[in-house]
Amino acid sequence: MKRKTSPKPCIVHKYGCWAPTANVERVDEQILLGHQMHNELVEAEHKNRETYRNLLEQDSELNVLTARLNALKSEAEALRVLIKKKRSTVRQRKVDTSTEKERLAAIKAERKELSPKLKEARVAARERLKVEVGALQEQEKAKTVEIRRAYAAKGLFWPTYNAVIESAESGKKKTRKTGVLPHFHRFDGSGRICFQVQGGLPVEQLFTANRRIELDPVPEGSWNTRHGRRHGTKTVMRFRVGSDENRAPIFAELPINIHRPFPPGAICKSAQVNRRRVGRHFVWTAQFTLELPAAARPRPMRRMVALDLGWRKRGDAYRCAYSYDHDGKHAEVLLPADYCATYPHLDSLASIRGDNFQAIRDQLVKYRQENEQDVPTWFKTETRHMYQWRAPRKMTRLLGLWSRPGHRFDGDAVPFEALKAYVKQDLHLWDWESRKRRNVAGRRNDLFANIAAQIARDYDVVFVEDINWRDDIKKAAVEDDKDRQTDEMRRAKAICAPGSLVHAIANAMAKNGGHLVRVDPAKTTRICHVCDHDGEWDQAKLDHTCKNCGHTWDQDHNAAINIFRWGLNQCEGDVKKAA
């Protein structure tokens, strides 16, 4: 059944927590069961895909097309490996690979021609095998119900297993579009416990006794001063993690810092407690999804602004957006230079860890080769593929095995102590890097929250491009001489995080009764806002001169004006939907 969504605006409040103090074992069990259930659903999807492929293989026409496309794909991969090998030999990109590129271009053209035919053949095959495909879909639904019942019997609380199923279904749809298989998750202790508040619960009732979520009251006036927000808002949260034999609720407790009050009149629709690994430690947070009361009078649409989001280096700082409003005012939104300067330090920590790992791996591989006859069987077994290792945790595991009683052997003092020193140093660097990344992300989110709050106060409508920022960055193909996305650009995108900024603006506009209108991003930068000429330009250069009218403009400024113009054309319909 399709879930009903409310037309009222919703926001998410997130609060920092500490580790649980009551029913800790029950919390650990819920998180582990949720993780295991997710992986079991992924395994079921893998089997379902295999059955579906075997079903379609009964169609001869589809098999011919599939075999040809697979052969072309394999040939293209082999040619890219050859190009890489040629470049690595001379250690530069400028090497004669014209023959390989010509063949890759031909393969690309043939694949482009065959892809629509394959799509049509699949549709025809599904139509011919309609009964079998329908039976497979019913079998898939029955398997999901079977897994849900199994984990309910194991004690997984129903809001959590519903959230796991919803997440798995969402991932299933995305991966089916791209043709890849969903991934299994390695359990590192991270997870979540979810709570669905059926019908909603007024936020005022969160501070009273109920059978779902309870918060101890925060002292009156604690949010009025900086000292109070830091030291007077710590309270206790009790959340239901199951039921006893009499169906009475079982609560877990954890300290929580309610550093900001809930919006008056809001309805809590759902909540969840998250545990995320940061280095060797866990960070606990709680988040509440709140439905805001509908505004008595809609906010007037007088003040409008368009934002061209992106990433561009400007001296020591980065431009994360460019704005253009109804009065013709325009400005760039810059992230501070001191914030941007933290990312090279993060990269240096990761680089040090990588160099240390490579050094200890080479040392142990060399020791194993030189002492092949003297090392015990367990050591040979555990390190037989060490030259291929990429994960530092494998070194930690090896040290644990090596430290067991009876696993030490003659002549192992030097490599054992070297490994022990490496693991100690790597764990320290891992903690350092993880904590710093978390702190940097927290500061970035604070900056974005302040930017979004200012925008929500100054404007009634915000126009942004309708882009999936997570999938926007793509690595260049091996055969491309010029990278479409260089490492520097990917780093700039990580620093500016346009998707997080859009989320912050959406949250702020919903809270203040404003509207966020998403605009088609096609050619917003290419088209000249003066004469509407569509022409090629050098993306690396900030300023561009139109070949048609001769005007010179900042690319981001031009894009912001176009977003504003096109947003106005669709503003009336979109605002009616959002209202």
pLDDT at 575 over 60: no
CA atoms within 13 A on the CB side of 280: 12
**Contact (CB, 8 A) for 303 and 514:** no
Q: Same domain, yes or no, for 95 and 174? A: yes
Separation between Cα atoms, residue 281 and residue 31, nearest integer Å: 16
Same domain flag for 490 and 430: no
In the prediction, which pLDDT does 288 show? 93
Shared domain for 469 and 504, answered yes or no, is yes
Domain boundary among 434, 459, 475: 434
Closest CA to 532 of 506, 509, 551, 518: 551
In this structure, are residues 548 and 496 in contact, taking their beta carbons and an 8 Å threshold? no
The reported pLDDT for the residue numbered 93 is 52
432 contact partners, CB below 8 Å, separation of at least 6: 279, 349
Q: What is the mean pLDDT of residues 158-186?
A: 88
pLDDT tens-digit map of 217-253: 888 778 888 877 777 789 999 988 888 888 888 899 9
Q: How far is CA 43 from CA 162, 182, 310, 415, 439, in A?
A: 18, 9, 38, 40, 35
Q: What is the DSSP letter of 528?
A: -
Q: Is residue 1 part of a domain?
A: no
Q: Do residues 353 and 392 make contact, with C-beta atoms less than 8 angstroms apart?
A: yes
Domain-located, residue 299: no
Domain hosting 399: range is 346-434
Per DSSP, 193 falls in state E
Task: Please state the rounded mean pLDDT for residues 15-44.
Answer: 94
Residue 578's pLDDT is 44
Give the pLDDT confidence score for residue 7 in this predicted structure.
62
CA 160 – CA 148 distance, rounded (Å) = 11
Total number of domains constituting the chain? 4
Q: Using CA atoms, how far apart are residues 523 and 535, in angstroms rounded to an integer?
A: 10
Q: How far is CA 148 from the centre of its chain?
A: 26
Q: What number of other Cβ atoms are within 10 A of residue 505's Cβ?
A: 24
Q: Does the pTM of the predicted model rise above 0.85?
A: no
pLDDT band at 576; cut points 50, 70, 90: very low
Most confident of 330-334, 520-524, 549-553: 330-334
User: Looking at the predicted structure, is the pLDDT value of residue 308 above 60?
Assistant: yes
> Two tokens at 236?
């206790």
Residue 446: name the closest of 512, 515, 501 by CA: 501
Last residue in a domain, options 178, 210, 226? 178
- Domain co-membership, 276 together with 241: yes
What does the pLDDT read at residue 364?
A: 95
Where do we find the tokens 């096609």? 522
pLDDT digits (tens, 9 = 90+) for 434-453: 999 999 998 999 999 999 99
Query: Above 80 in pLDDT, residue 186?
Result: yes
Q: Are residues 494 and 521 in the same domain?
A: yes
pLDDT at residue number 367: 94
For the cut 90, the answer to whether the pLDDT of residue 413 exceeds it is yes
508 domain residue, yes or no: yes
Residue 298 lies in a domain: no
pLDDT of residue 27: 93
The pLDDT tens digits for 464-498 are: 998 887 765 555 555 555 444 566 777 788 888 89
> Looking at the structure, do residues 50 and 159 belong to the same domain, yes or no?
yes
Residues with Cβ within 8 Å of 561's Cβ and at least 6 positions away in sequence, in order, are 306, 324, 330, 529
Residue 16: helix, strand or coil by DSSP? strand
Q: Which residue type occupies 132?
A: E
Quickly list DSSP for 353-420: HHHHHHHHHHHHHHHHHHTTTTS-HHHHHHTTTGGG---HHHHHHHHHHHTSTT---TT-HHHHHHHH
In a domain, 71, yes or no: yes
Average pLDDT over residues 96-119: 87
Average pLDDT of the chain? 86
CB atoms under 10 Å from CB of 325, counted, come to 21
| Same domain flag for 425 and 480 | no
In the three-class reduction of DSSP (H, G, I as helix; E, B as strand; rest coil), residue 454 is classed as helix
SS3 111: helix
Q: Check if the beta carbon of residue 323 is closer than 8 Å to that of residue 306.
A: yes
Look up residue 247 and give its amino acid.
R
Give yes or no: residues 127 and 72 share one domain.
yes
Q: Is the pLDDT of residue 210 over 90?
A: no
Instruction: Show the tokens assigned to 117.
Output: 């035919």
Q: Within the chain, how many helices (H) and strands (E) appear? A: 14, 14
- Listed as own residue / partner, the contacts of 168-176 with beta carbons closer than 8 Å and 24 or more positions apart are 168/38, 168/41, 168/42, 168/45, 172/45
| Among the ranges given (449-453, 539-543, 549-553), the one the predictor scored with the smallest mean pLDDT | 539-543
Instruction: Identify whether the C-beta of residue 118 lies closer than 8 Å to the C-beta of residue 62.
Output: yes
Domain boundary among 158, 178, 198: 178
- Measured CA to CA, the distance from residue 570 to residue 281 in angstroms comes to 48
CA max distance for the chain: 84
CATH number at residue 446: 3.30.420
* pLDDT in the model for residue 484: 45
Q: Is the per-residue pLDDT at 10 higher than 80?
A: yes
Please tell me what DSSP assigns to residue 95: S
377 with 497, same domain: the answer is no
Question: pLDDT band for position 573 (50/70/90)?
Answer: low
Residue 81: per-residue pLDDT: 86
159/257 same-domain check: no
For residue 514, give both structure tokens: 């404003």
Amino acid at 49: R
Minimum mean pLDDT range among 11-25, 77-91, 175-189: 77-91
Residue in 33, 30, 57, 401 with CA at minimum distance from that of residue 241:
30
Residue 40 domain-assigned (yes or no): yes
User: Is residue 572 domain-shared with residue 457, that is, in the same domain?
Assistant: yes
pLDDT bin (cut points 50, 70, 90) of residue 1 is very low
Answer whether residue 454 is part of any domain.
yes
Stretch 314-329: mean pLDDT, rounded? Answer: 89
Q: Are both 472 and 335 inside the same structural domain?
A: yes
> Is residue 154 a contact partner of residue 148, using CB atoms and an 8 Å limit?
no
Edge to edge, the sheet with strand 281-291 lists 191-202, 267-278, 281-291, 10-17, 249-257, 234-243, 213-215
Asked whether residue 409 is domain-assigned, the answer is yes
Contacts by 346-352, CB closer than 8 A, 24 or more apart: 346/433, 346/436, 346/437, 346/440, 347/491, 349/429, 349/432, 349/433, 349/436, 350/433, 352/429
